[in-house]
Structure 1
Amino acid sequence: MYARLKPALFRLDAEQAHHLTMNACALAGRLPGLPALIGSLTRATAPALGQQLWGFSFASPLGLAAGLDKNAEAIGVFSNIGFGFLEVGTVTPRPQPGNPAPRLFRLPSDEALINRMGFNNRGLAALEHRLAGPHAVPVWANIGKNKDTSNAQAADDYLAGVRALAGVADGFVINVSSPNTPGLRALQSAAELHELVRVVLSEAEKQRVRTLRALPVLVKLAPDLSDTDFEASVDAAVRAGASGLILSNTTLSRDGLSHPYRAESGGLSGRPLTGRSTELVRRAFRQTAGALTIVGVGGVFSAQDAYAKIRAGASLVEVYTALIYQGPDLPRRINAGLLELLRRDGFTHVSEAIGVSA
């Protein structure tokens, strides 16, 4: 069905097509019985793919990356098409419109997207309302700061996110790596990052005691850090006690692109990040000696792409751009392909493959 719809969607402006699709998914998620029916056909059930992390069950290592469902409008559908977990947001304390349109561009010849959305979202109150109630899969909230919040006051915005969502989210992702909020990436520096992660973890622990819920806190880093800065940021996250790393966010690099939209400003995602993000996973796994849970994201279009990140050291893997190009059957196909790859290499469980190529 998606193969028939895709040409029509791709004739629309990219953001217009996104909103149309999200509205359709939100509507489908509210139809009685439909999400469960979809889930019965596509949900991951193979024990070989299941993991227990931070006290949560992940039926598949494959998750949805942040940015697609910013306001948790369609988690009823997304949690039932084969994903083992979802990441919603980025959310900021106050609603904000983001950057002026046009701000989302498809690069089909490169299997990529460029976005300069700028943390457009409806704010914490709206997300708290949408996340209320049980979740079919773990749902993490990606938290950021409002554009008009100075870096000196940024911690207050991240703390507000934890306080507001501790009772409804299954974990948090500290986003300090988007290229579309001025000055945000400066918070990745080792000293800034260590302090930010430390205070967010302290608040998460207070909320864990209050809510009696596990609240892992992960840190999402950019792929554009120098080798030295990347190592320092990973070390800072580890020393502060982060629950995990997400590697990586979008890139400002335009190396090797062919599409005319390559000149657009913003963060690049998709196929051009495949190799870079996998290498960052490998480096972080080596640096931490496998002691920190890593989520690999960037250019995952197939089971082979996901498996390469797992072998490099990722316990979990996320997709976004490939879903736009390949449609909602992608998670089912990746899960099936992962099972075949595990069998091929003699593994009985996905955990046995984590880091074997690192």
Structure 2
Amino acid sequence: MGGDHAPDVVIAGLDIAVVRHPKAIFHVFGDAARIEPMVRKFSRLTGRVVIHGTTEIIADDLKPTAALRLRDASMRRAIDAVATGQAAGIISAGNTGAMLALAKIVLKTMAGIDRPAMAAIGPSAKGDVVMLDLGANMVCDARNLVEFAVMGDMFARTVLGLPNPTIGLLNVGSEEMKGDETLKRAAEALRASPIGAQFHGFVEGHDIAGGTVDVVVTDGFTGNVALKTGEGALRLVGDLLKRVFTASLAARLAYLLAKPGLNRLREWLDPRRYNGAVLLGLNGVVVKSHGGTDAEGFAHAVDVAMDMIDNNFNQRIKEGLRLHAGRETLAVDSATAPLAPIAISQ
């Protein structure tokens, strides 16, 4: 029931997704009186959708603390279904803050993971790039960044199919002396870890779109700002191109000549292609769709969830990250106690 155009977009998106995933069964939680007639309009959804009626809805502007009290909300019931094993994952276009809070409390983090991180895929000059965290953790220590790097590595392997994705820590400069102590300690730990060969080092903001690395790791505050900046830049490019090619008759004629290339550019930069941010590090697959997406975009969020489920992503995370007493240790900073021991293996 969440999102700007719910539940219409969700049901229409599932009609696309059932073709791509012929073995999947979708449990839909929400207002049954509204959902049932919509499902009947799509013949391909017959036998593929199980409707669970709920009595409450988490509004987009509802505070996470208030959302936690709505036990019969569609989002809460869907997350409960993952926790009980009724479903393998959840996709929602609803309230992001509520989803983060509910998922962390109901599903809980995996053993050995301090905090979950939100990851998503975006375009770059050399292909797709994974970025995390995108807003789940405003402040991070060195251990968090190392865990994000490991989860980002597994995400890139699973979703992008990269055998050895390169990893970079987002910083104010690429030189080793740049950045604060948290970044320096995280970099030191990654260089000494089993994925050290994949660690590129520090990267800057322009490296995200430049494709310098396959995985960009940062804290949630910086990551969210970078994400929104990139989204704004893409919209600006689209608006400027529209202005240029509608400015005059000559410009319209030039558009006809350039149309094949522009169509390819539009397809490459289509935000629907990158819809579906994943909350990594939880006991269950959790995918957040953009609230303003259309049916094709929601179907892509389903694709992301199915990739993770089909490839046993969470099990691969557990195998990729090991915490053992007496192994490598990191210190948050000189003013606090040492972190718990951490070791990384593939």
TM-score (norm. length: structure 2): 0.27
Does 1 or 2 have the higher relative contact order (CA < 8 Å, sep 6+)? 2
Q: TM-score, normalised by structure 1?
A: 0.27
| Structure whose CA Rg is larger | 2
